[in-house]
Chain A
Amino acid sequence: NAGVTQTPKFRVLKTGQSMTLLCAQDMNHEYMYWYRQDPGMGLRLIHYSVGEGTTAKGEVPDGYNVSRLKKQNFLLGLESAAPSQTSVYFCASSQVGDRKTNTEAFFGQGTRLTVV
């Protein structure tokens, strides 16, 4: 099993450009998440999805949009990239466990994005 796969692994963007990060999971998980990791800030939740067609804002959603048209895919879009969006982005997925709470999350390998 591939688990959680992120595409691309590295990207350099110019300010104002747009791009989409793709996350794919093959574990039939209900929940999917996008995080960004910055030094000293830990993993901050950008958006998450509790099922196909449903998305919600996390802690730092501004400047990002997401879509989950298929259960296995969760897309993160940057419409107009800014240098402040330079970060490492992680996608994760998890299943609904006992008592409607999450099982552990499985993470992708990360995408290193630089905006110049």
Chain B
Amino acid sequence: AQKVTQAQTEISVVEKEDVTLDCVYETRDTTYYLFWYKQPPSGELVFLIRRNSFDEQNEISGRYSWNFQKSTSSFNFTITASQVVDSAVYFCALSERGEYGNKLVFGAGTILRVKS
């Protein structure tokens, strides 16, 4: 069973539009971490945010905001007033306990295209 689901394969928006990227996760752990990473066209993976399972406060960082809801097992990411430079692949990830310690698993990613 897929642990991290990013149902949106690709999203296209026009600059200055707001866009929300969805992430739904599945875990039996009571303690876990969730992450968002950005992969721009250059290919490197850039860490954006980490949230732990015992802190459901939403977070805002500039144009980025994250909505964590344990009741729906979701950790959604919103970009406000999108810009062309936001064009990238965005990955949601879950750190959960494996047989030999914690492992980090990723969703399939959402391609975001922001057009000018």
Contact = CB atoms under 8 A, between A and B. Distances in A.
Interface of A: 31, 33, 35, 40-45, 48, 50-51, 54-56, 58-59, 88, 90, 92, 94, 96-107, 109-110
B108 A102 contact: no
Interface string B4-47: 00100100000000000000000000011101000000011101
Nearest to A109: B44
Interface residues on B, range: 20 to 34
Contacts, number: 81
Given A101-B95, A107-B44, A31 B102 contact: yes
Given A43-B91, A43-B106, A101 B52 contact: yes
Interface string B73-88: 0000000000000000
B110 to A, nearest CB: 10
Given A104-B47, A105-B35, A107-B45, 4 more contacts: A31-B101, A51-B101, A54-B101, A105-B104
B47 A109 contact: no
Contact of A109 (B31, B43, B103, B109): B43
